[in-house]
Structure 1
Amino acid sequence: MIDLTITDVEAIPFAIPYTKPLRFASGEVRTADHVLVRVRTAAGVVGQAEAPPRPFTYGETQSSIVAVVEQLFGPALVGTSVLDRELHRARLHRTIANPTAKAALDMATWDAAGQLLGQPVHRLLGGYAESVRVSHMLGFDDPQVMVQEAERMREAHGITTFKVKVGRRPYQLDVAVVRALREAFGDEVELYVDGNRGWTASESARALAEMADLGLTLAEELNPADDVLGRRWLVQQCPVPFVADESATRPAEVTREILGGSATAVSIKTARTGFSESQRVLHLAEGLGVEVVVGNQIDGQVGTLASVVFAAAHASTSARAAELSNFLDMSDDLLVEPLTITGGRMAAPTAPGLGLHVDPDKLARYRQDA
């Protein structure tokens, strides 16, 4: 009988520069200061996942993730089975916040379980589709630069869905970008916008009115959810699904935002809810009758692999293009075999577990604790 017991948990900080900074309303990212989380089992199998800190969104840093994994979360999991996910959830949730640290541990246990059972996690989660469409996120820049990036992504990878970062002041800067993209590509591409809480409700309403002829498909977090009445007023008049992202990171928050009239769709990010909690969010959204999109937390390839595994596993998450391509802006990565996007799609891995293999030489080169 296979021994599924967790014997050790490790958190390895690493840093890989981006080839260009990604700018948006809530911050800027120049380097992937992430953490590789490993869960070792008595059978010798090692599960792995990536934790990308976003201090301007969730308050986590690279050092805080390492500390909480080593001092609190790791000891809480050692001695349990990789299948004891409800027990893991109960123990980890004794400590508030720390979403990406918890998520990485959850996904690493799924990876280990899949390897031990000889099954890809994609199938263990649901196994709905073999691949998913890819959406590329365009950060702040001049209209012509953003058009050129979109053209490059379409030509090189076949991507035809683009999430446009907005939220600058004056808002006309971003309206000009979206208009330039539509004029450049016509109806050949899908466009939606993400404000990262950068505008007020009135700015958002004016911007949406000026973009009414541009065929947007989604609007995400244009203004803060804490502006309760303004947000509800905006959502009531929004002509497309209004996506809750940062404001709906847990099932209870999803319930609050949807039933309170502050959103009509939900972004699911495995980087902050892992696989187990993401399924809770997904099933809640399905029960409430709201659409979902699989988002990106500017993940590296390890994190992106987890996202495509979850997106392809379910009918609802594979219905829309998933945000899977921003690892292309990193100068390097950790995987032995780089991820590929072909014809605008990314395939779910078929190997046991998450099917990921970290290059030990690259990890040695980029780790920050050696």
Structure 2
Amino acid sequence: MKITRIEAIPFAIPYRKPLKFASGEVHVAEHVLVRVHTDEGVTGIAEAPPRPFTYGETQAGIIAVIEKLFAPQLVGSSLLERETMVALLGRTVGNPVAKAAIDMAAWDALGRTLGLPVTELLGGYTDRMRVSHMLGFDEPAAMVAEAERMRETYGITTFKVKVGRRPVELDTAVVRALREALGADVELYVDGNRGWTASEAARAMKEMADLDLLFAEELCPADDVLGRRWLVSHLDVPFIADESAVVPADVTREVLGGSATAISIKVARTGFTHSQRVHHLAEGLGLEVVMGNQIDGQLGSMCTVAFGSAYRLTSRRAGELSNFLDMADDLLTEPLEIRDGELVVRPGSGIGVEVDADKLAHYRQDT
């Protein structure tokens, strides 16, 4: 079970509908397919979605750090030496998405080698997750129409609404329109991607106080330390730390400092190994957890399902798992299907999905 080679393959698939939010917008999925090969002929796979406006990584940067630093360090390691691999990757600062993809591909290879699903290796709590859909910036009528389509077509009844525009009334009007159109049975929460100031966020949340919101996420910058603590102390809904609480130390700082009361786990930036640590810490602190989305493709979404379904805490809330629906195509041999508002773990070993060789050949950018 020793690693013999690690590949980083760039590919690009356009979005039919770009996702727009306070810190950026995405028109093309310029991602990296990571493959971990072993001496037993097993290949594990994972997806690395760079988000330069959040973590500073680019597609080219992910490929470079994997090929020049990470692969040479890890070749020869056993798939069971996860702590050693984490320590070796930790010698390099940053690059969370590149590290996470290698970690998940190694877990996939381990599951395939043992003939076991990754979700069972991680915890095996359930075999499915409810799906939350992210709604990007648009006019109220368009966002309502999208939400209604997602409910009617896929049975999705939880929506994360991107906010953070100025003036704040642009967003509060959207959330109010969604609540009025969708009714009380639908779960709504808002994500500001750090777009508002603390005072703007407080005013917006006051205007939406009657809309029964589930959460508020990253409404203002984390480095506005006093303003953020003040904001969180005045909210009556859980405040999710996302970009501000990636690793366990971040979670501890934000929660004990009064800057957050819930967290988002994204396996695309913490893999399975570090996500386990964040989960256990959240469980110990009594925090609510939402499985977040890095605007992943189908491979990345299934990695999220594999981890989220493994634990009671991470499967309790709907996970952000549907934005691959806006991509023009994908790489998997069998596309994911959301039914009755749920995504189910695929049967089989590892993560349970395979890459279509013809599609990869068509969309890869290094040939």
Structure 1: state its 5+ residue gaps: none
| 2:165 counterpart residue number | 168
Aligned letter for 1:313?
A
- What CA distance in whole angstroms lies between the structure 1 residues aligned with 2:262 and 2:23? 21
- What CA distance in whole angstroms lies between the structure 1 residues aligned with 2:98 and 2:121? 22
Q: How does 1:1-370 map to 2 (within 5 A)?
A: 4-370=1-367
Aligned letter for 1:320?
R
Describe the superposition over 1:145-196 as per-residue Cα deviations: whole angstroms up to 9, x where unpaired: 0000001100110000000000000000000000000000111210000000
Q: CA deviation at 1:102?
A: 0.2
> 2:315 aligns to what SS in structure 1?
coil
Normalized against structure 1, the TM-score is what? 0.99
Aligned letter for 2:60?
S
- What CA distance in whole angstroms lies between the structure 1 residues aligned with 2:320 and 2:244? 18
- What CA distance in whole angstroms lies between the structure 1 residues aligned with 2:259 and 2:220? 10
- What CA distance in whole angstroms lies between the structure 1 residues aligned with 2:85 and 2:119? 21
Of 24-33 and 347-356, more deviation after overlay is shown by 347-356
Q: CA deviation at 1:289?
A: 1.1
Aligned letter for 2:101?
A
- What CA distance in whole angstroms lies between the structure 2 residues aligned with 1:66 and 1:204? 38
- What CA distance in whole angstroms lies between the structure 2 residues aligned with 1:336 and 1:115? 17
Q: CA deviation at 1:246?
A: 0.3
- What CA distance in whole angstroms lies between the structure 2 residues aligned with 1:40 and 1:185? 47
**Aligned length in residues:** 367
Q: CA deviation at 1:288?
A: 1.0
- What CA distance in whole angstroms lies between the structure 2 residues aligned with 1:211 and 1:11? 45
> 1:342 aligns to what SS in structure 2?
coil
Describe the superposition over 1:85-105 as per-residue Cα deviations: whole angstroms up to 9, x where unpaired: 100000000000000000000
- What CA distance in whole angstroms lies between the structure 2 residues aligned with 1:207 and 1:164? 13
> 1:169 aligns to what SS in structure 2?
coil
- What CA distance in whole angstroms lies between the structure 2 residues aligned with 1:239 and 1:33? 38
Q: CA deviation at 1:114?
A: 0.2
Normalized against structure 2, the TM-score is what? 1.00
Does structure 2 conserve the Cα–Cα contact (< 8 Å) formed by 1:83 and 1:109?
no
Q: CA deviation at 1:318?
A: 0.3
- What CA distance in whole angstroms lies between the structure 2 residues aligned with 1:249 and 1:239? 24
Q: CA deviation at 1:315?
A: 0.2
Does structure 2 conserve the Cα–Cα contact (< 8 Å) formed by 1:264 and 1:291?
yes
Aligned letter for 1:58?
Y
- What CA distance in whole angstroms lies between the structure 2 residues aligned with 1:69 and 1:215? 45
Does structure 1 conserve the Cα–Cα contact (< 8 Å) formed by 2:345 and 2:352?
no
- What CA distance in whole angstroms lies between the structure 2 residues aligned with 1:294 and 1:326? 13
Q: CA deviation at 1:350?
A: 2.3
CA RMSD of aligned residues (A): 0.5
Does structure 2 conserve the Cα–Cα contact (< 8 Å) formed by 1:9 and 1:37?
yes
- What CA distance in whole angstroms lies between the structure 2 residues aligned with 1:356 and 1:88? 24
Q: CA deviation at 1:263?
A: 0.2
- What CA distance in whole angstroms lies between the structure 2 residues aligned with 1:23 and 1:65? 23
- What CA distance in whole angstroms lies between the structure 1 residues aligned with 2:320 and 2:101? 18
Q: CA deviation at 1:285?
A: 0.7
Aligned letter for 2:238?
P
- What CA distance in whole angstroms lies between the structure 2 residues aligned with 1:350 and 1:228? 45
- What CA distance in whole angstroms lies between the structure 2 residues aligned with 1:12 and 1:240? 42
Does structure 1 conserve the Cα–Cα contact (< 8 Å) formed by 2:191 and 2:216?
yes
Q: CA deviation at 1:356?
A: 1.2
> 1:188 aligns to what SS in structure 2?
coil
